[in-house]
Structure 1
Amino acid sequence: MSLEAMIELALALVAFLTAVVFHEYAHGRVAYLLGDPTARDARRLTLNPLAHIDPFGTVLLPLLLAVLRFAFNMGVPIVGYAKPVPVNPLYFRHPYQGMMLVALAGPAINLLLAGVGVGLWHGVGASLPGLLSFFVFYFVVINILLAVFNLIPVPPLDGSRVLLYLLPQGGKRLFLMLEPFGFVIVFLLLYAGVLQHLLMPIVSWVETILGRFG
């Protein structure tokens, strides 16, 4: 791997870490605003990355995907996850609704951060140095990828909490039975290339958007 590729890999991982930390912080903050102090009491209501790192989801998985992308030129999305912020729905007046709002907070903050990145690119994109330009691009891409990825309605992703709120009571019971198999389903989707076909067009779309603003 060339020095340039290693630097790009490091910048992409920094962008990823920033995105997942804000994602989990948003979950905890909205839960706290709805009356749940669990994240605060667990000292997870913080932007300190060390509080949110999951050894596999925050380090190994995105590192592996980044190496495949930058060292082997494979068209794989850089996705992963942080250690989930603890939430206790019993504190919410309406538990299913509360969990839906908490779940949506993560993708929402990622889309907001992506918007900030697009705004920065729109303002000074043409004058950004090469590496900083690369970082802003991947900051936008990764935040949008995380938002879309987490809205997939498969446990334990955020979209599953939204779907759970929308399902009738009988459907809720059946859906909850899938939770123990959620990670297996996600990895099967990744292995089968379904997630790649869903997420990789987003990279091209962001290139088009930033190209118009550049």
Structure 2
Amino acid sequence: MTTALTRPGDRRISPVFVGILAVTAVTGWATWTGFAEQPGLAVFLFVTAAWIVSLCLHEYAHARTALHSGDISVGAKGYLTLNPLKYTHALLSIILPVIFVIMGGIGLPGGAVFIEHGRIRGRWRHSLISAAGPLTNVLFAVVCTAPFWLDALHGVPHHFRFALAFLALLQVTAAILNFLPVPGLDGYGVIEPWLPHSVKRQVEPFAPFGLLLVFALLWLGPVNGVFFDFVDAVLRGLGINEFETYCGYNLFRFWQDPNELCSISP
């Protein structure tokens, strides 16, 4: 098996990731119980830590799929340890996505792990490697929204409910943005193996700017409105309304004046 060609240490979960999981668990408990004096701070730490966990899993999915597709170099690079510090673009993969969440409540897709595509044979495998990351965000969104579409919110504290709603919004936006067929994003990576070589050669110089272009377009009012209308439609289909995501974002930005309406049910 391909995994047999990697050292056991290459697949050992990093203490850094375990620490992030611990922060997620503790702050999730604080959000649920109301233990923190300032609930917004607990929500901020819980959502941020859970978001970083999802980013790590996103990159891990790319690397693990690449490993089983023939690129055994991902083990030596540390990608299988879930350590965010091992990513080739820690700034793009972790720091910028967190900043953009704080700035605008957008689950911006991060950078990608470095895959040695020359080791991989078959266009379907290349496409699957690119799709694995955003599919992880889709799975994460399903988990976050499960209490809503299963109608299992009885007894769930409002602050925790709103935090889950906002976290689900981040996962949905990340999945949608990642699946856009824009150079530099995973969506383009899915279709790239099937494009003529001449087209790929012409598009390649624009890959580093694809993410920046998408982010710039989202700042335009009409584009932003259409995008979030679609996101809200997806979330409504998963049982989450705009009130819940708004309150989650409002609590997340705890340094602003809290909205007292978010302390009660809509």
Pick the TM interval, shorter chain.
0.7 to 0.9
Counterpart AA for 1:143: Q
Aligned length: 202
Structure 1 unmatched ranges of 5 or more: 69-75
Greater Rg by CA: 2
- Distance in 2 of aligned mates of 1:194 and 1:211: 23
Task: Give me the CA root mean square deviation.
Answer: 2.8
Contact 1:57 1:80 in 2 (8 A): no
Contact 1:13 1:63 in 2 (8 A): no
- Distance in 2 of aligned mates of 1:103 and 1:27: 6
TM-score, normalised on structure 2? 0.65
Q: 1:157 is matched with which residue?
A: 185
- Distance in 1 of aligned mates of 2:50 and 2:226: 21
Contact 2:107 2:171 in 1 (8 A): no
Counterpart AA for 2:235: V
Contact 1:77 1:199 in 2 (8 A): no
Within 5 Å, give how 1:174-213 maps onto structure 2: 174-193=202-221, 196-201=224-229, 202-203=231-232, 205-207=234-236, 209-211=238-240
Counterpart AA for 2:40: A
Q: Which structure's relative contact order is higher, taking Cα pairs within 8 Å and 6+ residues apart?
A: 1
Which one of 141, 145, 148 corresponds to residue 118 of structure 1? 145
Q: 1:168 is matched with which residue?
A: 196
Contact 1:30 1:101 in 2 (8 A): yes
Which one of 82, 101, 115 corresponds to residue 47 of structure 1? 82
Q: Are residues 1:133 and 2:161 paired?
A: yes
Which one of 128, 134, 137 corresponds to residue 101 of structure 1? 128
Is 82-91 or 21-30 further displaced after alignment?
A: 82-91
Fraction of identical pairs, as percent: 25
Deviation string 1:43-67 (CA, Å, 9 cap, x unpaired) is 111234444482355235533542x
Contact 1:58 1:81 in 2 (8 A): no
Q: 1:73 is matched with which residue?
A: none
Deviation string 1:84-130 (CA, Å, 9 cap, x unpaired) is 21201111112x44321111001111111222223344263222122
Is 132-141 or 193-202 further displaced after alignment?
A: 193-202
TM-score, normalised on structure 1? 0.78
Counterpart AA for 1:36: D
Structure 1 runs of 4+ with >4 Å offset: none
* SS of equivalent residue, structure 2 residue 191: helix
1:65–1:120 distance in 2 versus 1, CA, 3 Å: closer
